[in-house]
């Protein structure tokens, strides 16, 4: 049967009408997929995921008609890609913890798929609170990495989520995840990824947030966590993230902190 062009996505050549065909049993999208979204003033329809891919190109004009994409497309695409997972994470009454954890992991995968300042962070922060995610943290290692990516995205420049993490005692928890010493071996990529994402989450948690910096100064095992973190970062032959990111974490950590005296003493 010939599918009219309007009913077929011009990027992946599969029907726009049936999102169920795009979903694997775990709820993840196969290929780009997703719900239908109108890309341009001409009215060309794309899957949301396929439109997101086009928005990531240097030329974001409609590949069908060369018209610019319509206003608000990026926000619509982000919101469409978050569903139905965001709704599931938000509603403890309608889904089990395990279902919510799986949905949150998919959101984390979306949040982690692009660099900071990306398409998803604002949409995610508008939909999901860190208090939705923190209580269901757990599961297999790969799932924990995706959940940590989601927490990292929720903490980025977001005061309410930084406050909520503080109230939940989350700083000690992030510190415990981040401080895997000795470093996980290369044969444990999930271990390294979890350490990296936890350090990134910690960096966002303490950025411009004095209570979280102070929480990190509390002692654990006889030494302030901030000092243990500093010692570990300085001692690592190969920290699990870029030198610029390590520098940023140290800068956030020292901003309100007595840790600078530990640096002077070192
Ligand atoms: Zn498509
Ligand atoms: Zn078009």
Cα 94 to middle of ligand 1, angstroms: 30
Tokens of 35: 């719900």
Residue 98 lies in a domain: no
Distance CA 136, CA 114 (A): 24
Residue 132 lies in a domain: no
Residue 233 lies in a domain: yes
How high is the pLDDT of residue 155? Answer: 95
How high is the pLDDT of residue 262? Answer: 57
Residues above pLDDT 90, as percent of the chain = 42
How high is the pLDDT of residue 236? Answer: 79
Cα 115 to middle of ligand 1, angstroms: 23
Report the b/e string of 58-84 with b at 16+ CB within 10 A: eeeebbbeeeebbeebbebbbbbbbee
**Which-ligand-closest: CA of 42?**
2
Cα 15 to middle of ligand 1, angstroms: 8
* Number of independent structural domains in the chain: 1
Say yes or no to pLDDT of 20 above 50. Answer: yes
Highest mean pLDDT out of 32-41, 109-118, 173-182, 245-254:
245-254
Residue 217 lies in a domain: yes
Cα 232 to middle of ligand 1, angstroms: 45
Mean pLDDT estimate for the chain: 84
Residue 207 lies in a domain: yes
For the segment 107-120, the average pLDDT, to the nearest whole number, is: 71
**Which-ligand-closest: CA of 70?**
2
Residue 44 lies in a domain: no
**Which-ligand-closest: CA of 10?**
1
pTM of the model: 0.81
Tokens of 163: 């406050």
pLDDT digits (tens, 9 = 90+) for 224-252: 998 888 888 888 777 888 889 888 988 88
pLDDT digits (tens, 9 = 90+) for 140-161: 999 999 999 999 999 999 999 9
**29/231: higher pLDDT:** 231
Domain extent at residue 206: 169-266
Residue 204 lies in a domain: yes
Cα 11 to middle of ligand 2, angstroms: 12
Residue 183 lies in a domain: yes
Range name among 43-47, 126-130, 132-136, 241-245 with the lowest pLDDT average: 241-245
Hey, is 40 helix, strand or coil? strand
Cα 138 to middle of ligand 2, angstroms: 43
Residues with Cβ within 8 Å of 204's Cβ and at least 6 positions away in sequence, in order, are: 152, 155, 156, 157, 162
């Amino acid at each position: 049967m010939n599918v009219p062009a309007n009913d077929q996505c011009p990027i992946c050549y599969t029907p726009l009408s049936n999102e169920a065909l795009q979903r694997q049993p775990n709820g993840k999208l196969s290929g780009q997929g997703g719900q239908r979204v109108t890309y341009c003033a001409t009215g060309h329809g794309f899957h949301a995921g396929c439109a997101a891919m086009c928005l990531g190109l240097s030329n974001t004009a409609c590949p069908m008609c060369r018209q610019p994409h319509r206003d608000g497309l990026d926000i619509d695409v982000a919101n469409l890609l978050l569903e139905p997972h965001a709704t599931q994470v938000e509603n403890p009454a309608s889904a089990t913890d395990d279902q919510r954890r799986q949905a949150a992991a998919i959101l984390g995968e979306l949040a982690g798929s692009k660099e900071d300042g990306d398409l998803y962070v604002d949409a995610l922060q508008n939909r999901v609170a860190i208090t939705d995610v923190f209580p269901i943290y757990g599961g297999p290692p790969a799932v924990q990495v995706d959940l940590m990516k989601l927490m990292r995205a929720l903490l980025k420049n977001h005061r309410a989520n930084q406050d909520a993490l503080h109230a939940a005692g989350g700083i000690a928890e992030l510190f415990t995840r981040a401080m895997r010493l000795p470093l996980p071996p290369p044969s444990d990529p999930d271990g390294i990824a979890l350490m990296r994402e936890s350090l990134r989450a910690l960096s966002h948690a303490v950025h411009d947030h004095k209570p979280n910096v102070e929480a990190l100064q509390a002692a654990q095992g006889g030494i302030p966590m901030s000092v243990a973190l500093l010692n570990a970062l300085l001692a690592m032959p190969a920290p699990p993230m870029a030198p610029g990111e390590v520098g940023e974490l140290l800068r956030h950590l020292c901003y309100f902190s007595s840790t600078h005296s530990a640096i002077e003493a070192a």
